[in-house]
Each structure stands twice: as C-alpha cells, then as structure tokens.
C-alpha cells in the first residue's frame, strides 16, 4: 500500500500536528494527544470571554482571540469541554505565528487528514471547522 503524500497546509506547525495524528491508527492515541494539547493551553483572560470572541455553532463554550504583532498572528482561547479545548489548542498551535494571509489560505481539508473525524461526533467535527473559520475571519479582519 502506497503512503499518502504529506498534507501541506501552509503552516509547518500544523503540518507536524497533522502528520503526527495521521501516523497513528489508534483513535484513543489521537484523543490522548488532543487532550495533552488542551492541557498545554494557557488560561484565557476573563476580558475575552464575550460574544465577540465566542465560536458560534459549538455545543460547548469556545472562545478564540487573535492578535496581530509585527505582522504575525498570536492566539489565545479556551473551552469548557476537554476535547473541544484540545481541538482549539491544535488550531492555536498550528496557526501561531502565521501572517493573516497564511492563516486565511489554510484549506480545512487538513482536518480529514488528521483522522480525528472518524472518532468525533458530527457536532464536534462541525465545531472544529467553526473554530477554524472564526480564526480565519479574525485573521482577515486583523489584516485590515
């Protein structure tokens, strides 16, 4: 069986995460990695816990905040659900330090390559996409 070509998202960090997740066939190992990412996420300041930064279409409470410094994006976020927080952390790590143009250009097709969708509920998979879309919308706004 031929190996599938690596996904090129436009983000080296995101490519590494996707390769790591795609490289394991055990859904439990994928979940463990996502939960580990969640634990690494820094606490979100209370000031950002409002509707302006809330991800719409998520069953859980999810907040993500992009800031632009020296032309590069820096992200913060939080969720009240562990798996969702891990998915958010995956995107934060994957999009950290990109230019707004790079973040906006990321094709959500990489999500399928992670293999996570097989073990995510439809609402979580949809929430994952909604988090990415909000991050891209913020990047676009920050680009001016």
pLDDT mean over 5-28:
89
Residue range 92-131, pLDDT digits in tens: 999 999 999 999 999 999 999 999 988 888 888 999 999 9
58 is catalytic: yes
- pLDDT at position 7: 67
Residue recorded with tokens 């798996």: 83
Residue range 25-40, pLDDT digits in tens: 999 999 999 999 999 9
CA atoms of 61 and 144, how far apart (whole Å): 27
- Class of domain 35-143 as given by CATH: alpha beta
Annotated active-site residue in 14, 18, 21, 58: 58
- pLDDT at position 57: 87
Angle at 60 between CA 56 and CA 61, to 5 degrees: 70
């Amino acid at each position: 069986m031929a190996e599938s070509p690596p996904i090129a998202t436009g983000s080296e960090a995101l490519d590494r995460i996707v390769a790591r997740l795609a490289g394991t066939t055990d859904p439990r190992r994928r979940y463990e990695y996502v939960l580990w990412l969640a634990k690494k996420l820094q606490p979100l300041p209370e000031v950002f816990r409002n509707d302006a930064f809330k991800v719409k279409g998520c069953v859980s409470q999810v907040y993500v905040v992009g800031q632009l410094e020296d032309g590069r994006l820096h992200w913060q976020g939080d969720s009240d659900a562990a798996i969702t927080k891990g998915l958010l952390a995956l995107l934060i790590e994957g999009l950290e330090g990109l230019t707004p143009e790079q973040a906006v250009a990321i094709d959500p097709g990489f999500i399928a390559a992670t293999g996570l969708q097989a073990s995510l509920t439809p609402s979580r998979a949809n929430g994952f996409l909604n988090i990415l879309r909000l991050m891209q919308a913020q990047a676009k706004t920050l680009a001016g």
